[in-house]
Structure 1
Amino acid sequence: MKNKLALLSGILCIGLVIAFIFYTGKDNQKKEGYTTTGFAMGTAVMVSVYSDQGRQDADAVIDCVSRLEREQISWRIEGSEVYRVNHEYKAGEPYEISYDLAYAVLQEKEVSEAGDDLLALTIRPLASCWGIEDGKKEVPETQKIEEACSVVNDSKVHIVDEQGKELTQVSELSEDGTWYVLFDETGLSLDFGAMGKGIACDRVAESLEENQAEGACVAVGGSVLCYGAKPDGSGFRIGIRDPRGNENDMMGTVEVRSDRHPVYISTSGDYEKYFIQDGKRYHHILNPKTGYPADTGTISATVICESGALSDALSTMCILLPADQALKLVKSFDADVILIDKDKNIYMTEQAGKQFTITNGDYKVK
């Protein structure tokens, strides 16, 4: 009970998009788990680990997320791989990158191409124009939005091998190869905001496996990793935030088992970072084709699958697509989803329906 209270109070203070609801079994006296919080990638990192060295494993998790941000995927931190690429590349010339970065670029492009090219890897100029993630609270001038949109174009970013051959799928990569990113023109830049936290969860799973942790639940912002098993053999129960309630309000829970393989749950919504102007909500999930925040009627999307990067990318895509297209897209990647629209209607894939429980009667399954 002590761990449960500490965990919930941490979430209430931090205001995570997804909250944990853990229950320690009454007969579980051997390992009650170690819970801690940290901060990385601009968000809270919440960790609960079940292992003989819980504190060390939990600290390793937070360090893993911090190193990923600092060394590889941050567009802000000088010296990270993405920062170097964005500031050093020359149009038309291959720039050597790591296998992991090449993998991430191809993975995001695959998801985007399957969803009408709406998950822009090169969204940074448009995101900076709006500045919602940095606290700006006014709609930019139309001309500035149009100028920013003109340099958002993923078709001008390519992953190539040593011979200059372009790769189009993750399956074409090998860890022992040498890979390059090639930009067709200047002004483009990489930004993994749509899947970076999911990538972090994937890396955390690798860290937990290396450290032989028995079980863990880790949240990096709106992306959650459920790993291994709890000592009492029960599953993990994850709370889904009420998108029109306060940051501590839940509208339902998802229960998953991860004893055979890690399970990842990512939630995106129009309530995370936004402002209201003239009675209209403007949020941080931007449509690269219109230059404005997505306006499909979907206000929250929770994706469940076996890849953190994929769950994160798909949850963002589900906000950018109409509900029927979003459901179809998620199914094509063998994932599951829970969608909530502005009228508080819920749409789900079949398997998600078996895992999901509504706790707020204002929401109805359609």
Structure 2
Amino acid sequence: MVLLIFVFFRQKPVEYYDRTEYLLGTYVTIRVSSSKMSPVALAEAALSEIKRIDEKFGSRTNGIIAELNRSGELHDIDKETSFLIKSALEISRNTSGAFDPTLYSLTRLWGFDDESSLRRIPSEDEIEAALRSTGFSRITFDEKTGYVSLSDGAMMDLGAIAKGYAVDMAIAKIKALDEGATGFIDAGGDIGVIGPKYGSRPWIIGVRDPRGESVQDVIEYIYLYDGAVATSGDYERFFVEDNVRYHHILDPETGYPSRNGVISATVIGRSAMLADAYATAAFVIGMEPGVTFLPRFGALVLLVMEDMSTFKSPGFEVYQER
């Protein structure tokens, strides 16, 4: 999903520098301003950090997750990898498996692992076979020793958490260089705020209409001074066969695209990593559990249903007030 950033100018006290590159399997846009140093240098530092994380944690690269999927186990993993795996397992437990970092075999089966992959409807036998190697219980992880292993042919994919993490780390890199920098980073709809617009005003974020004809069609607005927001939608990666839409957000229980009436799930959270992961979970969990259950983990939810009705967690409206 692509969230739209709207900036309305009454005055222009500072200049913002914009940079867009294709990373993390999507377009990443950095808008940043600094009174301390060149915003170009800040954007370069942020992009360098995102590239590092993309190479390290991408399932299709030669990074550490690809190595884990090939070997089935790793010893003495570094603290950053340990943190991401620990976070993924914690979110999986919090959502009773709705967020599942072991769906890579299913994702490949449907052809959603890469833009160049052939997308198709797998046979029931293929899906049943793939399901036998999924589930976060197939991950053995020891944080103290740095040991992680996968059983029953499971394959890990941290894409639904690593993209948000990359945004968080890129922002941290910018803030380390200039604590007063402002702006935002948008990684294909995972948006993290560097600092308020012009230092005191919110960034106005439009949540895309899931059935709109253009990315400019907006169904709701959010105002953020800090934190992050992410959206998962059935219009991001999909194909249509026999008038049925098959999208990339798979239900870990069935192995098929999630079908519970939700067509878009937006989550506001304190970090892009958490917003990213819980948006995926909210889409799969559905209306009542998603709206009422996830806020206990710091995830405020906006769901858009097939009939275009919307449901919001208590407190979500606070972020829709200027």
Say yes or no: TM over 0.5.
yes
Unaligned regions of 5+ residues in structure 1, if any?
Answer: 1-15, 163-177, 358-366
CA distance in structure 1 between the partners assigned to 2:271 and 2:147 by the alignment: 24
Between 194-203 and 313-322, the greater mean CA deviation after superposition: 194-203
1:146 equivalenced with 2:128 (yes/no): yes
5 Å-filtered alignment, 1:1-366, equals 17-26=2-11, 28-29=12-13, 31-52=14-35, 53-70=38-55, 72-78=56-62, 80-90=63-73, 95-134=75-114, 135-162=117-144, 178-183=145-150, 185-212=151-178, 213-231=180-198, 233-248=200-215, 249-258=217-226, 263-356=227-320
Partner amino acid, structure 2, of 1:145: I
Equivalent residue of 2:159, what SS?
coil
Quote the offset at 1:132 in angstroms. Answer: 2.9
Partner amino acid, structure 1, of 2:135: N
Q: Which has the larger radius of gyration?
A: 1
Partner amino acid, structure 2, of 1:217: F
Partner amino acid, structure 2, of 1:240: V
Q: Deviations over 1:271-318 (max 9, x none)?
A: 100111112111000112101000011111110111211110100011
Quote the offset at 1:25 in angstroms. Answer: 4.0
Please list every run of at least 4 consecutive aligned residues from structure 1 whose deviation after the TM superposition is greater than 4 angstroms.
none
CA distance in structure 1 between the partners assigned to 2:298 and 2:100 by the alignment: 22
Q: Aligned-pair RMSD on alpha carbons?
A: 1.7
CA distance in structure 1 between the partners assigned to 2:197 and 2:284 by the alignment: 35
Equivalent residue of 1:303, what SS?
strand
Contact 2:29/2:186, CA 8 A, preserved across alignment: yes
Quote the offset at 1:161 in angstroms. Answer: 4.3
Equivalent residue of 1:347, what SS?
strand
Quote the offset at 1:116 in angstroms. Answer: 2.2
Unaligned regions of 5+ residues in structure 2, if any?
Answer: none
Equivalent residue of 2:5, what SS?
strand
Partner amino acid, structure 2, of 1:202: D
Contact 1:73/1:192, CA 8 A, preserved across alignment: yes
Equivalent residue of 1:189, what SS?
coil
Q: Deviations over 1:81-129 (max 9, x none)?
A: 1112222235xxx522111111111212222222221211111011111
Contact 1:197/1:309, CA 8 A, preserved across alignment: yes
Partner amino acid, structure 2, of 1:325: P
Residues 86/137 of structure 1: CA separation in 2 closer, same or farther (3 Å cut): closer
CA distance in structure 1 between the partners assigned to 2:93 and 2:162 by the alignment: 18
CA distance in structure 2 between the partners assigned to 1:154 and 1:332 by the alignment: 21
Q: Deviations over 1:205-244 (max 9, x none)?
A: 2111111152121101120001223225211111111101
CA distance in structure 2 between the partners assigned to 1:334 and 1:120 by the alignment: 19
CA distance in structure 2 between the partners assigned to 1:199 and 1:116 by the alignment: 21
Partner amino acid, structure 2, of 1:197: K
Partner amino acid, structure 1, of 2:124: T
CA distance in structure 2 between the partners assigned to 1:233 and 1:99 by the alignment: 35
Equivalent residue of 1:32, what SS?
coil
Contact 1:137/1:276, CA 8 A, preserved across alignment: no
Between 37-46 and 244-253, the greater mean CA deviation after superposition: 244-253
CA distance in structure 2 between the partners assigned to 1:137 and 1:86 by the alignment: 22
Quote the offset at 1:136 in angstroms. Answer: 3.1
Contact 1:304/1:336, CA 8 A, preserved across alignment: yes
CA distance in structure 1 between the partners assigned to 2:61 and 2:34 by the alignment: 33
CA distance in structure 1 between the partners assigned to 2:198 and 2:298 by the alignment: 29
CA distance in structure 2 between the partners assigned to 1:132 and 1:68 by the alignment: 21
Residues 328/158 of structure 1: CA separation in 2 closer, same or farther (3 Å cut): farther
Quote the offset at 1:250 in angstroms. Answer: 1.7
CA distance in structure 2 between the partners assigned to 1:118 and 1:284 by the alignment: 14
**TM-score under structure 1 normalisation?**
0.82
Equivalent residue of 1:132, what SS?
coil
Contact 2:138/2:152, CA 8 A, preserved across alignment: no
